[in-house]
Structure 1
């Protein structure tokens, strides 16, 4: 994985805050020439090193921890990654071989658990852990390349804290088409969205604003952590007493090293996805963080292959 240079990291960091920002807005916030920002930004997006995508939030979500038949972990990870309702699919170390998140509806849970997961190729045993609350998702993670002033110029902190699992609501056929556009390319122009969904550009702009404001579709900019100097990724499974859950979760939410943190119903009460530079950094994360004294016990699963992130399939030749 080729590392991003300083300007590329700053462009990514700006787009993480506002995925649909114009290159002019990004350049002004960073104090760079618009032409340089537009050229470098387009190269990152067109080359697939960075992706701006959307994901449809659902009322129910759960993590799947799959123990696989020997030698079949890549097949299971691929099968879960290719589900339209999965947001990520990782091969990991430890007693679990594959971990994936599935976004669904309560009405689909029974069939998902009793039929779909049971017949997933390569799965010998699967533990399902429903998500009770998100403290952080990948769209809140930042590469940390901007000054506070630059972040503010891109709009950091202006929007109320996001609801990462809104109640599902029925959408018109046109809104569904617009959501599909944003899922495939969060930076798609209003003109193109209008053309694909069969509405006027004014209507497209108005409906996009409504869909984003109501968290029907959520935008994020994806970059592999290794490309920004964070090659070590781990899932940390925490077991904590109920009265400490909220305090620890809020502490994790504030920690810039955390990409994802959620409260679970199951054998672990919290899961944390963290990306770091070294194993020593991971050791310090689990032993020296402000929340560590409140944890009863923990397990660590190292992520060895990320086949899918943020609803987007990674190139299998480079993950």
Structure 2
């Protein structure tokens, strides 16, 4: 994994706040030359080291914890990653072999749980855990490369919030086409979006702003944690009492080490995805953090391979 240098990390930090920001806006916020920002940022995007993508608003998101036949975890992870409705697919250590998030519809959950997962290659047992509430997603995860002043210049809210899952509205086909454009490339120009959706550029600009404002599609900047010197990634499954869920979730939402945290229905009440520099930091995360008060027990599964993140397939190598 090639590490990003300090300048590249600052560009990433700016685009995490606003994935559609112009190079001029990024350069202004970072007090750097626009040409240097544009050249380096374009190189990062074209090389695939970072990606700006969109995620459709989930209607019935759920996590899948799969145990696999010996040696088949990569095959299962690949199969789940290949699904158009999967957000991420990880091979992990511990009692679970593969973890994936599926962004499905409520009327499709029964078939997914009873048929589709049962026929997924390699799976010997699958547990489905519906997401009840997001405390944090990778949309509000930050690499920590910006000063508060630089973040404010990019429009960073004081504490980014992630909206809970809602049933999506029925949208006209042109809006669906626009969402498809943003899912594939969150930085696609209004001119190109207009051409693909068959609308005027003015209409494309107006509809993009409306869709983003209504949270019909959520934009995020993807970067591998290891590329920003956070090579240890773990999913921590927390068990607690109902009265502690909201307090623990709020604490996790404020913890900069957390990429993703959600309340679940199932054997664990909360899942946390944390990225850290070392195993010692992971140990301190689960033993010394504010959120540990009220946790009755927990499991740790370490991510050893991320085949898909943010709806985007990673290099299989």
TM-score range, shorter chain: over 0.9
Conserved? CA contact 1:19–1:186, under 8 Å: yes
Distance across 1 between alignment mates of 2:213 and 2:282: 36
Is 1:155 the counterpart of 2:155 in the alignment?
A: yes
| Structure 1 residues 245-301: Cα deviation after superposition (integer angstroms, max 9, x where no partner) | 100000000000000000011111000000000000000000000111211011000
- Gaps in structure 2 of 5+ consecutive residues: none
Structure 2 residue aligned with 1:87: 87
Q: How big is the shift at 1:166?
A: 3.1
Is 1:121 the counterpart of 2:116 in the alignment?
A: no
The root-mean-square deviation of aligned C-alpha atoms, in Å, is 1.1
Is 1:237 the counterpart of 2:237 in the alignment?
A: yes
Equivalent positions of 1:125-144 (< 5 A) are 125-144=125-144
Equivalent positions of 1:1-319 (< 5 A) are 1-157=1-157, 161-317=161-317
Q: How big is the shift at 1:133?
A: 0.6
3-state SS of paired residue (1:291) = helix
3-state SS of paired residue (2:290) = coil
Distance across 2 between alignment mates of 1:293 and 1:159: 22
Q: How big is the shift at 1:158?
A: 7.5
Conserved? CA contact 2:87–2:309, under 8 Å: yes
Q: Deviating runs (4+, > 4 A) in structure 1?
A: none
Distance across 1 between alignment mates of 2:126 and 2:297: 22
Q: How big is the shift at 1:88?
A: 0.3
| Structure 1 residues 21-48: Cα deviation after superposition (integer angstroms, max 9, x where no partner) | 0000000000000000000000000000
- Select between 289-298 and 229-238 the one with higher mean Cα deviation: 289-298
Distance across 1 between alignment mates of 2:142 and 2:198: 35
Distance across 2 between alignment mates of 1:140 and 1:35: 27
Give the TM-score of the pair, scaled to structure 1. 0.98
Aligned residues: 317
Conserved? CA contact 1:57–1:164, under 8 Å: no
